[in-house]
Amino acid sequence: MKHLTIDELTGLLTRILAAHGAAPGVAEVLAQRCAACERDGAISHGVFRIPGIARTLAAGDVHGELRHEVEDPAPGVLRADAKGGFAQPVFEALRPRFVQKVRDTGIAVLAIRNAHHTSALWPDVEPLAEEGMIALAAVNCFACSLPFGAKSPVFGTNPFGFSAPRADGPPITFDMATTAMSHGDIQLAARDGRAVPEETGTGRDGLPTTDPQVILDGGALLPFGGHKGAAISMMVELLCAGLGGGALSLETGSSSHEGVFPSITGLTVIAIDSRHSAGGSFAQRAADLVHLMEDAGISRLPGQKRHDARATAAAHGIPLTDETWLSLLALEDGRRGS
């Protein structure tokens, strides 16, 4: 087992992505997100994703430069066409302008289309909450989810994320696939030979299965919470494809590269300046709510597991198995020598 600091891991991932075709600023943003996910124990968006991203970059399915065009149609609205690049570097490039809009109008929406979103959503919203904003984010992606009554997949895993400032602790954050399980977690379960819970997905034959590989081999995921989760998934489509102007999940292809699905879709973020909450008391009220949740015995506060993993990583480093560590070195060296 190897233990790396966040800076060491970010540096290594930056070099790998740059070696496979990402421009310097792009490689660094992707590496930061990926390293943060690994550090926080969100491993389905951690280094596990790096080989696939590298292959996709090398194949040119997603380009590695920042080529986006910005549209500014209203005081509280910002849009961008990412032109087939990664969503996160575009988001980072637009963040100061977006935050200024939130400060100026009290609420603003950012919609990025034609973008490949490679990471979790919490790294998009949590930094906004750290700056005092209440933030919602949504991404649609290739169709793999079979909602109520459908005979073929309609929605993507269409994650929905939320983060809000809290007076006496880190932001309170959730980040959920609107499918019963995220696609990355299905892939991890398949890799590790673990069954997934009932009502997670179906096989190619439309029948329920707990075998993740059967789900991946032409099957489909199910929405979380039945038709209610499917409705939230539909809202994600409308906020991303409808508002931002990108592809619907059903209109985007998925890559033939093993383990990677470069959906060229949309990222939409809504942020509200918490200074405009009644009495400016938002962060304290969020803290009050968390205390009431704790008093009621809630054992799983949203984001708690991530923050625990983050503290452990700060003390002892980010753990990587020897196999993962060697594969990352090979990925760095392989391209360097090619």
**Which residues 103-122 are close enough to bind a second copy by CB under 8 A?**
104-109, 111, 113
**Residue 45 is among the residues annotated as catalytic for this protein:** yes
* Binding residues for a second copy restricted to 11-40, rule: CB under 8 A: none
The yes or no reply on residue 129 touching a second copy (CB under 8 A) is: no
Tokens standing for 57? 């970059």
The yes or no reply on residue 220 touching a second copy (CB under 8 A) is: no
* Binding residues for a second copy restricted to 140-199, rule: CB under 8 A: 147-154, 162, 164, 172, 174, 176, 178
Closest CB to a second copy among residues 127, 242: 242
Shortest Cβ 149–a second copy spacing (Å): 4
- Coil, helix or strand at residue 32: helix
Stretch that binds a second copy, among 9-17, 43-51, 184-192, 220-228 (CB under 8 A): 220-228
Orientation angle between helical segments 6-19 and 322-337, nearest 10 degrees: 40
Is the alpha carbon torsion for 240, 48, 154, 262 positive or negative? positive
What is the secondary structure of 254-294 as a DSSP string?
Answer: --SSTT-----EEEEEEEEEGGGSGGG-HHHHHHHHHHHHH
Question: Which alpha helices (H) appear in the chain, and where do they start and end?
Answer: 6-19, 24-39, 50-59, 87-105, 122-130, 183-192, 212-216, 226-237, 244, 282-295, 304-316, 322-337
The yes or no reply on residue 316 touching a second copy (CB under 8 A) is: no
Closest CB to a second copy among residues 20, 79: 79
**Residue 308 is among the residues annotated as catalytic for this protein:** no
- Coil, helix or strand at residue 75: coil
**Residue 327 is among the residues annotated as catalytic for this protein:** no
The yes or no reply on residue 65 touching a second copy (CB under 8 A) is: no
The count of chain residues that interact with a second copy, using the rule CB under 8 A, is 75
Q: Which of 96, 218, 279, 337 is close enough to bind a second copy by CB under 8 A?
A: 279
Q: Which residues pair with 273 in a beta bridge?
A: 133
Distance of alpha carbon 160 from alpha carbon 125, whole angstroms: 10
Shortest Cβ 16–a second copy spacing (Å): 33
Q: Which of 11, 245, 317, 319 is close enough to bind a second copy by CB under 8 A?
A: 245
The yes or no reply on residue 253 touching a second copy (CB under 8 A) is: no
Return the active site residues.
Answer: 44-45, 185
